[in-house]
Structure 1
Amino acid sequence: MKLLVDMNLSPRWLGVLFEAGIEAAHWSMLGAHNAPDSEIMAYASVNGYVVLTHDLDFSAILAATQGEKPSVVQIRAEDVSPDVIGKQVIVALRQMAAELEDGALLTIEPNRTRLRVLPLQLRS
């Protein structure tokens, strides 16, 4: 698995991910700082990345398009510093690696982790 870290997260995430043996790149190294989320999603899909973000727009894009890839990991916490929630993110990434390879939305909150398999289905 390789992660594409969104602009709304610090490049410091790269060190934490590399230390855990996870390949990662920060969007600031790959594309325009003001690129729309749809461009980041397209890049991730074409290049086999899982998107790591703090932005809810990525899950909205997956829901609207019923996309199957790329997988998205969204951190839902007030403090998204790798010093604070990094260990929890690494544990979740390792536990859900197979699902993320297949296509999933993983939401990590301070007190719980939720996984939804892609494509997202509208609930009735």
Structure 2
Amino acid sequence: MKLLIDMNLSPRWVDLLINAGFEAVHWSSLGAYNALDSEIMAYAKANDYIVLTHDLDFSAILAATHGEKPSVVQIRADDVHPSVIGKQVIAALQQMSTDLADGALLTVDTSRTRVRLLPLLSKPLNNS
């Protein structure tokens, strides 16, 4: 699994993820620090990365475009330091690896993990 870590997360995530057996790179080593989220998404899709972020904009892009890739893992916690939530993120990545390979939005917070398969589509209305 290849993870592209967004600018809003510390580069310290790279070592933690590599030590857990993942391929990981921080966006700061690939592109401009002020790159648009859409640019990061395009790079991730073209290079088969999963985006790891603390930013809700990536899920909004997936919803607006009905994108099937790249997968996005969003950390929803007040403290996103790897020493605080890293073990939970690694466990979620391992547990949801098949869904992430196929295309998914994975949300990890301190109390639970949720996954939605891509593309993100509106739920059908109940016409009863």
Q: 1:122 Cα shift?
A: 1.1
> One-letter code of the match for 1:113?
T
Q: 1:108 Cα shift?
A: 0.2
1:49 matched to 2:44 = no
SS in 1 for 2:106: strand
C-alpha distance in 2, partners of 1:72/1:34? 19
C-alpha distance in 2, partners of 1:79/1:22? 22
* Structure 1 segment 11-30 matched on structure 2, within 5 A: 11-30=11-30
Structure 1: gaps of 5 or more residues: none
1:79 matched to 2:79 = yes
> One-letter code of the match for 2:84?
V
What is the aligned partner in structure 2 of residue 6 from structure 1?
6
> One-letter code of the match for 1:90?
I
1:88 matched to 2:80 = no
C-alpha distance in 2, partners of 1:54/1:6? 8
Structure 2: gaps of 5 or more residues: none
What is the aligned partner in structure 1 of residue 40 from structure 2?
40
C-alpha distance in 2, partners of 1:40/1:14? 17
C-alpha distance in 2, partners of 1:67/1:121? 10
What is the aligned partner in structure 2 of residue 62 from structure 1?
62
Larger of the two Rg values belongs to structure: 2
1:100 matched to 2:100 = yes
C-alpha distance in 2, partners of 1:24/1:5? 7
C-alpha distance in 2, partners of 1:24/1:52? 10
SS in 2 for 1:35: coil
Any idea what the Cα deviations from partners look like across 1:16-58, whole Å, max 9, x if unmatched? Answer: 1011010000000000000000000000000000000000000
C-alpha distance in 2, partners of 1:18/1:35? 24
Give the structure-2-normalised TM-score. 0.96
